[in-house]
């Protein structure tokens, strides 16, 4: 992906970009809100009362990326939700290991975890963790100074796994440096994935009903978190200390270690969380309601009690609840999305507004940072596979709400690649996150206005509480498009490897104090080059003061 500083209109997650006058002259200092708005930020803000400085967000925002599991191809596809550009495609497991990813969950720093449904070897399943390049979430394993990673659809980097070196976990043979964890899990046929308030990930296998927690930093299983109540292992969502796992619905209290199984009388498939009420919603694909009808959509309170149930037009799979408590349900056999909204005439209940038709076997739905609804289409083709739905488009339906309409379709196949078959139906954008981010970035491309400006140093003023950090990297360019290898900067010290160039890209990475809500703060950052002054128009002329034929 290209940053907003390079492509007009391309914004990054959680981000602001405004028209302002950038700092000029030499040195140039970024210190005001309008200066920082010249760059792009992920999980970073200058919100009041902390203006004219940058710090990490206190709450996670939905990202401007969606991660779609191309299940039949064994890969994960990353798309910019603002532009529709496919930014990368990544293998979900090393060669020789089971893939078929379906469930995804986005963590607080923007990366994604995905479970592999086809992994059973040795009585274990597997998950993969892919970092968000734009938020510094990838690892330069070969110390080349650059991140080697996928750049688009079909650019699938090898993961050869020679001698089975990564069979039991690890990414040592993965050439894509945004693949940062591969972990074997006690749950097999893995489907449940959900991020908790510590940015750890809960997993569950449908085949054996085994669940456990993985450390969000190391990717390793956390000892003592394994449990099995004989239910769950399908769709998953986490809220306020409770893990919900579908298919004979499991409610597990992660604090007390207690749980209970509800069976399928509250739905059997997709799970969603209402951010306003804390209610859990579950769809039905197979199970019938108490009146024998198939199938129903259920609204549960945090204890698991049924608050309301609604007849679905067709059996459904994934669902998502947006910031306005509207519920969007993927109905694979109806090739549509059912839209439910609060009933203006019956507070506390919902009504079916209508359906967004013309899709191709919808399985998953997610909401992006701008409130658009995204659907993955299992019966995908070269022209479609993911659809972006504008909730304010389409006809007016029940309750006076607009039904919604398809604004964009994106093909996940190119006619040469094997079919994508995107079957995922869990969180793809981070809209269900509740944990504050531990890292964030701010990046700007500064135009010095000087050809081949010899950059000398970068300095900044910051507050970095114990355990937190600010890291600065720079790269130069002559055209603002192709940049040199990034150099990590020491505050105020001279640059060593950055070549001359009119443009300097500055990337600032913020990392929160581990286990504490203490963010580092950047007050200002100054860029300096050693270009000598232009004395062409000096008066009196330098030629008069020092004639060309002057001799000592």
- The parts of the chain modelled with pLDDT lower than 70 are 1-21, 287-293, 514-517, 532-552
Query: What distance in Å separates the CA atoms of residue 302 and residue 319, rounded to the nearest whole number?
Result: 18
Query: What distance in Å separates the CA atoms of residue 81 and residue 104, rounded to the nearest whole number?
Result: 16
Residue 10's nearest CA partner among 61, 80, 67, 68 is 80
The pLDDT, as a whole number, for residue 7 is: 31
Structure tokens at 4: 């907003």
Q: What is the pTM of this model?
A: 0.83
The pLDDT, as a whole number, for residue 10 is: 37
Looking at the chain, the number of H-run helices and the number of E-run strands are: 2, 36
The pLDDT, as a whole number, for residue 533 is: 58
Q: For 217-266, how does the pLDDT look when each residue is reduced to its tens digit (9 = 90+)?
A: 999 999 999 999 999 999 899 999 999 999 999 999 999 999 999 999 89
The pLDDT, as a whole number, for residue 433 is: 83
The pLDDT, as a whole number, for residue 425 is: 83
Query: What distance in Å separates the CA atoms of residue 208 and residue 152, rounded to the nearest whole number?
Result: 36
Q: Which 3 state secondary structure label does DSSP give 20?
A: coil
Neighbours of 199 (CB within 10 A): 20
Structure tokens at 44: 């970073």
The pLDDT, as a whole number, for residue 464 is: 95
Q: In DSSP terms, which residues pair with 64 in a beta bridge?
A: none
Confirm if 94 and 168 have CB atoms less than 8 A apart: no
Confirm if 410 and 384 have CB atoms less than 8 A apart: yes
Instruction: Name the CA radius of gyration of the chain, rounded.
Output: 26
């Amino acid at each position: 992906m290209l940053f907003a500083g390079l492509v007009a209109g391309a914004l990054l997650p959680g981000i602001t970009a405004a028209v302002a006058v950038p700092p000029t002259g030499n040195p140039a200092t970024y210190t005001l809100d309008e200066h920082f708005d010249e760059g792009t930020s992920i999980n970073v803000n200058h919100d009041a009362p902390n203006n004219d400085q940058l710090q990490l967000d206190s709450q996670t925002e939905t990202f401007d990326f969606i991660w779609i599991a191309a299940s039949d191809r064994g890969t994960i596809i990353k798309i910019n939700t603002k532009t529709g550009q496919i930014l990368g495609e990544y293998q979900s497991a090393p060669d020789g290991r089971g893939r078929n990813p379906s469930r995804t969950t986005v963590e607080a720093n923007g990366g994604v975890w995905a479970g592999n449904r086809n992994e059973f070897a040795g009585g274990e399943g597997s998950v993969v963790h892919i970092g968000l390049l734009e938020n510094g979430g990838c690892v330069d394993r070969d110390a080349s100074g650059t991140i080697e990673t996928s750049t688009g659809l079909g650019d699938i980097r090898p993961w050869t796994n020679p001698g089975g070196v990564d069979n039991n976990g690890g990414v040592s043979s993965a050439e894509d440096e945004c693949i940062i964890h591969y972990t074997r899990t006690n749950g097999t046929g893995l489907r449940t994935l959900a991020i908790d308030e510590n940015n750890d990930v809960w997993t569950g296998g449908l085949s054996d009903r085994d669940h456990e927690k993985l450390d969000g930093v190391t990717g390793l299983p956390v000892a003592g978190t394994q449990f099995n109540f004989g239910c769950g292992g399908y769709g998953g969502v986490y809220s306020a200390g409770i893990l919900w796992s579908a298919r004979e619905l499991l409610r597990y209290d992660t604090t007390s270690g207690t749980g209970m199984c509800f069976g399928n009388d509250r739905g059997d498939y997709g799970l969603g969380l209402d951010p306003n009420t804390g209610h859990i919603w579950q769809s039905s694909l197979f199970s019938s309601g108490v009146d024998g009808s198939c199938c129903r959509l259920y609204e549960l309170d945090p204890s698991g009690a049924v608050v309301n149930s609604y007849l679905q037009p067709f059996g459904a799979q994934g669902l998502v609840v947006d910031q306005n408590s509207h519920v969007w349900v993927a109905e694979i056999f109806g090739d549509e999305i059912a839209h439910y909204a609060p009933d203006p005439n019956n507070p506390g209940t919902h009504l079916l507004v209508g359906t967004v038709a013309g899709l191709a076997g919808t399985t998953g739905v997610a909401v992006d940072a701008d409130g658009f609804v995204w659907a993955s289409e299992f019966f995908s083709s070269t022209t479609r596979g993911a659809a972006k739905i504008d909730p304010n488009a389409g006809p007016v339906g029940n309750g006076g709400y607009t039904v919604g309409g398809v604004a964009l379709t994106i093909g996940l196949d190119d006619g040469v690649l094997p079919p994508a078959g995107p079957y995922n139906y869990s969180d793809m954008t981070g809209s269900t996150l509740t944990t504050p981010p531990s890292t964030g970035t701010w990046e700007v491309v500064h135009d010095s206005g000087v050809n081949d400006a010899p950059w000398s140093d970068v300095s900044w003023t910051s507050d970095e509480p114990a355990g937190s950090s600010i890291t600065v990297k720079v790269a130069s360019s002559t055209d603002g498009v192709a940049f040199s290898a990034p150099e990590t900067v020491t505050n105020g010290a001279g640059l060593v490897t950055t070549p001359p160039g009119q443009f300097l890209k500055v990337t600032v990475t913020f990392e929160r104090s581990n286990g504490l809500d203490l963010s580092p703060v950047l007050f200002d950052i100054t860029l300096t080059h050693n270009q000598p002054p232009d004395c062409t128009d000096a008066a009196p002329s330098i030629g008069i003061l020092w004639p060309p034929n002057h001799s000592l």
